[in-house]
Amino acid sequence: MKHLLILSALVVLAGCAKVTDYFAGKSNAEPPAPLPALQATLNVKTLWAGRSGSGADKYYVKLTPALADGKLFAAARDGRVSAFDAARGQRLWETDTKVLIAGGVGSGAGVALVGTNEAEVLALDEIKGGVTWRVRVSSEVLSPPRVAQGIVVVRCVDGRLFGLNAGDGSRIWVYDSAAPALTLRSTSAPLIVGDKVIAGFANGKLAAVSLQEGKLLWETAIAEPRGRTELERLVDISGDPQEYDGVVYAASFQGRIAAVQADSGQLLWARDLSSHAGIAVDERYVYVTDAQSQVYALDRRDGRSLWKQDKLRARALSAPAALGEYIAVGDFEGYLHWMARDDGRFVARVRVDDNGIIATPVVSADTLYVNGKGGVLAAFRLSK
């Protein structure tokens, strides 16, 4: 276990490595693209802005906020978890858990959920913010826990999935997908579709297990490890899989992006494309941020490219978020870039957090929420 974690910690994500190496003076790193020229045609209104605490600090942890029952839950690396009124931004409560948070936030069943570097999962009462239970799992938790039908599903860095009772944290089941010796320092969150849990793993496989029992239902290879070295053979599915109309979409690092039938695991289409940030899906397109921080729009039916936006290369982009006729991505300087979904042209830009944005923006109805790396939490709405 220690061997796995040490090796995992040594692997720096490709897009972020380019930016980090450049500012460290390494000549072989691609410099971040300058901010592209912009003639704004979309008005992005800031509904409110506040702070979630210290944010991710200097660590590469995607502390994505979560929405439930009109509340927005956000976490900071230093252990603080907060609840805000999602419409007005008023802070409802803040709890200092006194742990280093690495995975968060998940919400549902009356609790907000976070994971830690010390292989713990904490559940906080949605109304009052007190810690209702904490349990130990097999290894650190780098992605948000998910909850449905009274079961909390947790993805651990060692490849295990846990099903926990949402009421008291007791273990219901565990599913083990053996992790390679070397993995990216990032894991995808499990996806719950009906009575199935669908998860992506570091071996390039997408698997579905039953929500109630954790039994394997199907397994599909999104990518196959290739190459002579362990680095060349990295094919982690580190971006969160997405589901639309019974089809699951997932992308792997140094591998492929693919569409899979949710009920059977049948591969519908796949194409070569490397991504560790993640994807978004709407009724027409699949949007993906690739490993060079280029943004693609693919046809949801067959995966063919419809457009590519390459003017943000090496800016360490977040996964895209789709809101109506537009998509948004964050970058390492804290800019939120808005693009038209039909052709990828830039329509607006707003700076959210000087320390950068790595967590995927969250969309609910006509509002987009962002938790910046420095702890700036903000809500935006579009108007022409």
Q: Is 374 exposed, middle or buried (0-12, 13-18, 19+ CB in 10 A)?
A: buried
Contact 357, 319 (CB under 8 A): no
291: left (phi over 0), alpha (psi -120 to 50) or beta: alpha
Architecture of domain 2-383: 7 Propeller (2.130)
Residue 226: its pLDDT value, please? 87
Residue 11: its pLDDT value, please? 38
The structural domains of the chain, with segments of one domain joined by +, span 2-383
Q: Is the pLDDT assigned to residue 17 strictly greater than 70?
A: no
Mean pLDDT of 135-140: 96
Mean pLDDT lowest among 3-7, 123-127, 199-203, 246-250: 3-7
Contact 93, 125 (CB under 8 A): no
pLDDT in tens, 105-130: 999 999 999 999 999 999 999 999 99
Residue 204: its pLDDT value, please? 94
Q: How confident is the model at residue 181 (pLDDT cuts 50, 70, 90)?
A: confident
The enclosing H or E element of 2 equals helix 2-10
Q: Is 34 exposed, middle or buried (0-12, 13-18, 19+ CB in 10 A)?
A: exposed
Mean pLDDT of 240-248: 97
